Structure 1
Amino acid sequence: MVDFFRDGTPAKGSCPGFPAEQTGPSGPAGNLAGTVRLPNCSASLVRPRTARDEDKALLLTNGHCHPEGRPKPGEVITGQGAPIEGSVLSAAGRELGPVTGRVLYATMTGTDITVAQLDSTYADIRQKYKIEAFPLASTGPVAGQKIKVASSFLESVWSCQAEAVIPTLKEGDYTSTQAIRYAKECNTQPGSSGSAVVDAETRELVAVNSTSNRDGKECELNNPCEIDETGTTVHQGRGYATQTAAIAACIGTGNTIDLKRQECTLPKP
């Protein structure tokens, strides 16, 4: 959830990471198909199980990647809000063309997400770009699950395991719950904010890359700390993701965010 992870240096494509697999228009979870490059972050096309081909597509990135700046602690942004635009990538990381839309929901309270509805439908994107959105999982990853982190901004894919589920992750004035800590192989870099975190076998999107402790500091911006019943812990160099299963429970008519749904647990204004 940090500015360090929004863009920064190195320039896109120059950071270490697993190269995108060039295996077809959508292919396995190990390529960049389905990702969208924003001006300063990574993002992805996501499709809830209830969505229809004729529904306008959803785009997912971090709350701190909101086009008008990060939400304040406790703030929840709803409604047809700020415009957002990005470039759809091929499996190999080539820009296929633009998508535009408006933010439906954004917050950094308990989570770190921005959900936007695009002007294009899933059918439009499939016809124009030969790209399928990532299926949005209704359950989060478990410790030991094999995952891939796909960054459109950096044109890189990291492979590792979800090492642990963290009850509370604190970074400055922001707090996330049930965050995912990566194993060390997912050494995400600046520009990877908002990257899709997908199940390595099914391609389902289970989380969105959020932050990392870069300097070993405790509970500061760019240096999140873990808090549980045993106290506070710092894992220097480890990256974290925000779970996204709660989004699936809040999808309403027309592929929008409906915070009034009984099963919806996303933070509300």
Structure 2
Amino acid sequence: MKFIISLLTVMTVASIAQALPLPKGQQLLSLPENFTAEYNFEGIVGLDNCSGSLIRFENSRDTDSAMVMTNGHCLEAGFPKPGTYLYGKPSRRSFRLFNERMEVVGRLTATTIIYGTMTKTDMAIYKLSETYADIKSKYSVNALTLSSQRPTERTPMEVISGYWKRGYSCEIEAFIPQLKEAGFTWEDSIRYSRPGCQVIGGTSGSPIIQKGTRTVIGINNTGNESGYMCEMNNPCEVDKDGNQKAYRGYSYGEQTYWVYSCLNQYNEIDVNVPGCQLFH
């Protein structure tokens, strides 16, 4: 996948075959000093190989255990196989937490992988040892709110990466019935407009935020690097009639609002809830 993941391979000997290298000649230090000036990093997190965000549901309480969202392909155990998901697995993952000024103010610790998959969507949600109140009190950082509504075309959006400490701005150009890449299939994928959101490796798991809000409307996950068809790092679009096309340089995100169809009476993700739309 372009699996906008793991620029870990840029730093070390490549140990993840699916990692995306930086574009030729591009280095983090070459970015303009004011590149991130327009972006609010409050609640953004950085992982060892990806990006993510501190999220809450629309009706979460301050006393609830906080959550972090990233891609399913960013899970510490590697890619979940097509047609599989993780649910309620122990974790001790650590996340760097940013404030609005892009400063790392502390580290958050997971206790559980609540849910993770690369089927239908590409998403992992972790439960943390801290509550939202704990994080607010200790770090003065508020969580972003995960939207319960499917976004719409032409919505202005931002992709903000805690791995690279940079942001992107564009809009939702279109929704793709299916996006396929190396055996994985995602549904109702979000295609970004250009220029503005030509994301790179390491931005995987970054929240797609509705511009001007604190609302997460999707999750960044892949892009076509070379124009190849349905291969690793080269997703292809599949229309409603089954026709496949690939576009070099196009970037994509996945839907997250489906989570709300799986909340139980305790406001927890439960795939056994009737009508749950997450893959299970």
Partner of 2:251: 239
- For structure 1, list consecutive stretches of 5 or more residues without a partner in the other structure: 23-29
Partner of 1:204: 215
Q: Does 1:90 align with 2:106?
A: no
**Scaled by the length of structure 2, what TM-score is found?**
0.87
**SS of equivalent to 1:127:** helix
Query: Closer, same or farther in 2 for the Cα pair 1:254/1:55, shift >3 Å?
Result: farther
Q: Does 1:71 align with 2:80?
A: yes
Partner of 1:264: 276
**SS of equivalent to 2:259:** helix
**1:140-194, Cα deviation, whole Å (9 max, x unpaired):** 2211110000100010110100000000000010000001000111010110000
Shift of 1:14: 4.2
- For structure 2, list consecutive stretches of 5 or more residues without a partner in the other structure: 11-21
Q: What is the rounded CA distance, in whole Å, between the counterparts of 2:215 and 2:153 in structure 1?
A: 16
For the 8 Å contact 1:100–1:118, the answer to whether it is kept is yes
Q: Does 1:106 align with 2:116?
A: yes
Residue among 162, 177, 184 paired with 1:174: 184
For the 8 Å contact 2:221–2:254, the answer to whether it is kept is yes
Name the aligned partner's letter for residue 61 of structure 1.
Answer: T
Alignment of 1:101-250 (within 5 A): 101=110, 102-184=112-194, 185-228=196-239, 229=241, 231-250=243-262
Hey, which bits of structure 1, 4+ residues long, moved more than 6 A?
none
**Scaled by the length of structure 1, what TM-score is found?**
0.91
For the 8 Å contact 1:67–1:83, the answer to whether it is kept is no
Name the aligned partner's letter for residue 60 of structure 1.
Answer: M
Query: Closer, same or farther in 2 for the Cα pair 1:250/1:256, shift >3 Å?
Result: same
Q: Does 1:56 align with 2:65?
A: yes
Name the aligned partner's letter for residue 256 of structure 2.
Answer: T
Partner of 1:6: 6
**1:181-223, Cα deviation, whole Å (9 max, x unpaired):** 0011101011000001010032210001000101111100100
Q: What is the rounded CA distance, in whole Å, between the counterparts of 1:183 and 1:16 in structure 2?
A: 21
Residue among 36, 43, 57 paired with 1:20: 36
Number of aligned positions between the proteins: 261
Name the aligned partner's letter for residue 123 of structure 1.
Answer: A
**SS of equivalent to 1:252:** coil
RMSD (Å), alpha carbons: 2.0
Q: What is the rounded CA distance, in whole Å, between the counterparts of 1:251 and 1:12 in structure 2?
A: 42
Shift of 1:47: 0.7
Name the aligned partner's letter for residue 87 of structure 1.
Answer: R
